[in-house]
Chain A
Amino acid sequence: MLELTVVNKWYHYRDRLMQGIIYFAVILVCCVFIWILVDLLQGGWKHLSLDFLFDSPRDAGRGGGIGSILVSTLLILLVALVAALPLGWSTAVLLAEFVPAGSHSGRSIRYSMQVLAGVPSIVFGLFGNAFFSIYLELGFSILSGGLTLACMLLPILVSTAEAGLRAVPNSYRLSATALGMSRSAALFHLLLPVASPTLAAGLLLGIGRAAAETAALLFTSGYVARMPGSLLDSGRALALHIFDLSMNVPGGDAPAYASALVLVALLLCINILAMQLVQGWQRRRITSE
């Protein structure tokens, strides 16, 4: 009996110890996250103003603002989305609705998407430089940067959209068929609208990933900080601007902090919106079933 209580006590202490370790790890992660945010806020808040958002950078970015850089970032994003959305979503629809899950073609497309999702962004940069900038002769331009990003976005768009479509209950498809709807009509009038929140969430995640990207743009969209005149001009993305200010421009820390704050605030908003969409959609599904 005495032995039993000793063993019980040991288990009790071990439980407590592990709980302590886990709570410590969690608090550590929370603290680091808050540390990063507070650091960025402290460093960037004073420099941030409406003028900063709309002015063009002067003196290699030490003065002025990030107006032209925001425009370039937006253009790169637009090019990437226009190229990636139709491809990504049509692949997802094909995988989810038209191809049996275990079939050979479906598996190979899924494997290639899986590999693509893991490819390091610098390798996308090498590929974009060799293919878009040199082989297709687009040069260092917003167009080649955007197209490189489009390749990066494909796996995110495909996997989120496929998961969304697969989560639509089969009864929807059966009823549509029973009503004599064609598959395309069922797709456009029923399945895609029902899955639209996850499509939107995937879109937002893609935008977030593209806006955060630096390495893939280094050798494709270039460094020029001027206001871009056309899609074939070189344009500097916001993330690249932060990199350049902190590494290559002595005394560029204050505007770098402010730019990082703008980027992080933007990404946090996009990601929170995406999470809300997914969560709201799940809740609606649960209540409707």
Chain B
Amino acid sequence: MTWLRRNILFLLMRTDTLLHWVLRVGAVISALVMFLILLFLLVESWPVLQHKSPLRFFTDASWHPLEGTYNLMPILSGTLFASIGALLLAIPLGIASALYIVYYAAPCCALWYRRLIELLAGIPSVVFGFWGLTTLVPLINQLHPPGASLLAGILVLALMILPTIALTAHATLLAVPDEYLRAAAALGLSRWGVIAGVALPAAQTGIVAGVILAAGRAIGETMAVLMVAGNVVQHAGSLFDPIRTLAANIALEMAYAMGDHRAVLFVSGLVLMFLVMVLSGMVGWLGGNHHA
């Protein structure tokens, strides 16, 4: 009967190798998606990269794509201002939320608040934008017209990136070893002394990684900013000036862009992609250093 057993084993080995190959093919296709995206962005933006110097994006007179002037500076500054403003608002709120869940709340409150943050993360960007458009913009308009402004964009963006910061900070604060906290308490540190002197420094890398992730999300967010920020191409002089961000610019102009204009929009997509790659590379590097 030995031939039978060998035969079965042979069959089993064959299904195993078959499965392994099927999985490998799937994984290779998934990994290829990123390269495909990069490749197509490069191919579509090649006409502009080839015969125009990249300096023109900074030195052209203005952003009038139909007349062939492509100054990206006001759009870049709008993106930067909106993202930095949103981060300034969301970082303290997010870290306070995480501290509340881990150190201050009663267990049931902590669970509920965590749920709330997770649900906030699940609300679609278009709904945030719609809410901003119908509620925040009229409110800001009463304060200082025109309402659709950098401030509205910052507020909506802050709401959208707050869950990212809060949830990553929560996860890293939970991972701070209990002995640290007990030792600090035994030394007679006050509650805030334990948090600010021991817990936050110990969780620093994770919190920074979360903030970087959130920055990536803020830079790339399209719909919500498009709906509330006014979309005027200009350097913002105050919080109440309308601005346009890089991602919103793509969404606004893709519909009618032809030739070089279309290629310039793909260049800005490429810029967004590289920014995100650098940021996630930083997160990976932070994580690697942390484990080492």
State the A residues within 8 Å of B (CB): 11-12, 14-15, 18-19, 21-23, 25-26, 28-30, 32-33, 35-36, 39-40, 43, 86-91, 93-95, 98, 108-109, 111-127, 129-131, 135, 151, 154, 158, 182-185, 187, 208, 211-215, 218-219, 239-240, 242-243, 246-247, 253, 256-257, 260, 263-264, 267-268, 270-272, 275
Would B119 and A268 count as touching, CB distance under 8 A?
yes
Would B12 and A86 count as touching, CB distance under 8 A?
no
- Decide yes or no whether B27 CB sits under 8 A from chain A: yes
Partner of B265, one of A116, A126, A239: A126
Which 6 A/B pairs are nearest by Cβ-Cβ distance?
A120-B220, A90-B26, A212-B124, A25-B96, A215-B222, A182-B12
Please, which residues of chain A bring their CB within 8 A of the CB of B283? 114
Would A183 and B125 count as touching, CB distance under 8 A?
no
Q: How far is the CA of A117 from the CA of B272 in the complex (A)?
A: 13
Please, which residues of chain A bring their CB within 8 A of the CB of B25? 90
Would B93 and A219 count as touching, CB distance under 8 A?
no
Closest chain A residue, CB of each to CB of B101: A26
- Main DSSP-derived SS at the A contact region: helix
Query: How many whole Å from B262's CB to the nearest CB in chain A?
Result: 9
State the B residues within 8 Å of A (CB): 12-13, 15-16, 18-20, 22-27, 29-31, 33-37, 40-41, 43-44, 92-93, 96-97, 99-100, 104, 113, 115-120, 122-131, 133-135, 159, 162, 190-193, 195, 213, 216-217, 219-223, 227, 247, 250-251, 254-255, 265-266, 269, 272-273, 276-277, 279-280, 283-284
Would B23 and A93 count as touching, CB distance under 8 A?
yes
Would B30 and A113 count as touching, CB distance under 8 A?
yes
Partner of A183, one of B16, B124, B159: B16
Closest chain B residue, CB of each to CB of A181: B12
Would B37 and A151 count as touching, CB distance under 8 A?
yes
Would B37 and A124 count as touching, CB distance under 8 A?
yes
- Main DSSP-derived SS at the B contact region: helix
Please, which residues of chain B bring their CB within 8 A of the CB of A23? 100, 104
The listed residue with most B CB atoms (<10 A of its CB), out of A113, A123, A214, A271, is A123
Closest chain B residue, CB of each to CB of A131: B40
Q: How far is the CA of A15 from the CA of B19 in the complex (A)?
A: 58
Decide: A242 near B126, CB < 8 A? Known: A122-B250, A127-B41. Answer: yes
Would B23 and A90 count as touching, CB distance under 8 A?
yes
Closest chain B residue, CB of each to CB of A22: B96
Q: How far is the CA of A21 from the CA of B128 in the complex (A)?
A: 26
Partner of B127, one of A32, A98, A126, A242: A242
Closest chain A residue, CB of each to CB of B33: A151
Would A94 and B26 count as touching, CB distance under 8 A?
yes
Would A212 and B134 count as touching, CB distance under 8 A?
no
Closest chain B residue, CB of each to CB of A132: B40
Query: How many whole Å from A130's CB to the nearest CB in chain B?
Result: 5
Query: How many whole Å from A183's CB to the nearest CB in chain B?
Result: 5
Closest chain A residue, CB of each to CB of B196: A18
Would A243 and B16 count as touching, CB distance under 8 A?
no
Would A94 and B27 count as touching, CB distance under 8 A?
yes
Would A116 and B33 count as touching, CB distance under 8 A?
yes
Would A26 and B100 count as touching, CB distance under 8 A?
yes
Decide: A184 near B16, CB < 8 A? Known: A118-B213, A122-B222. Answer: yes
Query: How many whole Å from B200's CB to the nearest CB in chain A?
Result: 12
Partner of B33, one of A154, A187, A271: A154
Please, which residues of chain A bring their CB within 8 A of the CB of B29? 87
Q: How far is the CA of A21 from the CA of B18 in the complex (A)?
A: 59
Closest chain A residue, CB of each to CB of B159: A32
Partner of A263, one of B18, B127, B217: B127
Closest chain A residue, CB of each to CB of B195: A18
Please, which residues of chain B bring their CB within 8 A of the CB of A111? 280, 284
Partner of A268, one of B122, B222, B265, B280: B122
Q: How far is the CA of A129 from the CA of B26 in the complex (A)?
A: 23
Q: How far is the CA of A88 from the CA of B116 in the complex (A)?
A: 28
